Chains A and B, each alone.
With several copies, the nearest count.
Chain A
Amino acid sequence: MASSEPTKAQLLALYERMLLIRRMEERLRADAAAGNLPGAVHLYIGQEAIATGVCARLRESDMITSTHRGHGHFLAKGGDPKAMMAEIWGKKTGICKGMGGSMHVADFSKGILGANGIVGGGFAIATGAALASKLTHDERIAVAFFGDGAANQGVFMESLNVSSLWKLPLVLVCEHNQFCEFTPSANVTSGEIADRARAFKIPTRVVDGNDVVAVWQAAGEAVEHARRGEGPSFIEARTYRIQGHLEAEALFLAGGKYREEAEIEEWRKRDPLDRTRERLAAAGVASSELQGLDERILRTVGEAVQFAKDSEPADPELAFDLMFAGQRA
């Protein structure tokens, strides 16, 4: 049934999660612009369907690795909005006690092994997690989210080889948003990324990454495949990066240009949330219902920000005890 249609309730749940991600990041965008956030912020706006569709198929005990663009994965896998917001604000109450920030949000208790500032850094971690699950027969699976740019790191091929060889419970999810920073992916990517996975006899699916149902269906199959012990799968979700590589990108570009406004506009028309709303309408969900949902989520976001603002700054001295387990740095 992996590829069956989601029920109305499931669809609603998917939409709610996507909306949470979107509203959280809209708020982050505003606070970044207002200079309220210390570090760099890479937004996931327009890609919400991918993390949401995939994570809806996972158990809390399953594990994911994420990227520098990791807020969506964190929230989709069940990370706490307050703890994430406080982290990005650099507060002691942050999920990483303010030590990691936007590029490192993680919640190991929920299988979120962390956003990662190293492009391609998640491949081996997810592969290792999948190996451990297999060796300890604990039925957990691991999912590695990564960008099209990361797919050019050799470690991608290494994980394809190892996971296929050992039939590891791993799902590789390539979020093809068409850019690596300011470089169009086409300029740095030879051939089809999916063919790289096919070369290792790994089941491969290329889906519309802006259609949460398509992602949810592909992920369902991949997750069941892994859960059955049949090995890794590869999913390429085609999408588009609506925001700049990072907020305040303009400062870096200093007038430089790498894409056309018109192209961005084209993709706005395929907004994954709009498309899900259409599906919901077709499924007979009243717009009033969505209205209420929207308000609830804005409240959640507001509370998260308030929590972050009210929290104490990080405790610098803590760093000396956080480098090692039970050993001072």
Chain B
Amino acid sequence: MARKRYIHAINEALIEEMSRDPKVIVYGEDVELAIMGDTRGLLDKFGRDRIRNTPICEATLTGMAVGAAAAGCRVVLHMMFSNFIYTGFDAIANQMAKLRLMTGGQATMPITIIASYGGGGSNAAQHSDSGYPVLVNLGGVNVVMPATPADAKGLLKTAIRGNNPTFFMEAGGRGGEQGEVPEGDYTIPFGKAATLREGKDVTIIAIGSMVKPTLEAAKKLEAAGIQAEVIDPRTLVPLDEEALVAAARKTGRVVVVDEARDRCSAASHIAAVLADKAFGSLKAPVKRVTVPNVCLPYAPNAEKRMIPDADRIVRVATESARA
């Protein structure tokens, strides 16, 4: 174990997987000088046949990943901000997510797409969406949501080694956060939730960027005498329904925290799963703490108002625990 920054854990995973398998290539806009930080140093180590800047043409970058994978590469495509996933959405939704089924299993697509999501930096609506629910609905792509440096490293390595299109969603503006990261060849299987805190009074399910404020909230709740169980699904596709259902059953009181816009959010889906499969054990309404159905405003105070924070989580979890 060693303390590392989120962004460095990602960088390390990229270097390790590129060293491990010469078929791994990385491309995207400004990956060479690493505008997002995570691809820093790769060009010097691996050269332009392994990592290269592309023109600005997201619609083609996503489709190219399908072709390059079909031709034998393991593709890592960096899309910068998750809003640009929308720009390259056609090949994601109509090709990547469907080609394997449509070809009767012939197409194998070892593709990892990295994108940063979420607000907090006053980047305004076109640079702050948490655009993963639309990916989750597609069916044919994995969606992973690393909340810590360790998960970032372990999930990215699994994604790159895997044989399916996987969206690796970076929590925006969190690159500097530190955490313990296991040494060596550390991978994390998809579809395994992580219990971050044990508690008997209320179960808080926190997704990606919301794990941090949720753990903060759990501390505050404890001070108020409420023991919160905190669980992080870590991957939305595949989804560890069993673990989430068990966690819900444990307290009968559930709050799902998600930085996505509320309607058809990951929180909505998880709440729906629990309202079905954990119904018998529920003691209180299943609560969602999400971004309301607006785009994130630019002004810091207005943006802050929309993004779930520890206080909001505390308020809702307290209600739920007392309901």
Contacts and interface: CB of A to CB of B under 8 A. Distances in A.
Direct contact of A and B (CB under 8 A): yes
Interface of A: 38-40, 63, 65, 90-91, 94-101, 103-104, 106-109, 113-114, 116-121, 123-133, 135-136, 138, 140, 142, 149-150, 152-155, 158-159, 161-162, 165, 180-183, 187-189, 252-254, 256, 258, 313-327, 329
Contacts of B25: 132, 135
Of B59, B95, B127, B297, most buried by chain A (CB within 10 Å of CB) is B297
A50 B56 CA distance: 22
Dominant SS among interface residues on chain B? loop
A182 B60 contact: no
Interface of B: 23, 25, 29-30, 32-35, 37, 40, 49-50, 53-57, 59-73, 75, 83-84, 87, 90-91, 94-95, 99-109, 121-127, 139-140, 142, 162-164, 190, 238, 292-295, 297-302, 304-306
Contacts of B71: 63, 128-133, 136, 138, 140, 142
B103 A104 contact: yes
Contacts of A125: 63-64, 66-67, 70, 91, 95
Contacts of B90: 118, 121
Contacts of A121: 63, 90-91, 94-95, 126
A183 B29 contact: yes
Contacts, number: 296
A319 B60 CA distance: 28
Given A128-B67, A162-B54, A39 B73 contact: no
A102 to B, nearest CB: 8
B310 to A, nearest CB: 18
Given A98-B104, A98-B298, A101-B299, 4 more contacts: A114-B102, A130-B67, A131-B73, A316-B301
Contacts of A129: 67-68, 70-71
A202 to B, nearest CB: 15
A316 B306 contact: yes
A152 B125 CA distance: 23
Given A39-B124, A125-B67, A323-B100, A161 B55 contact: yes
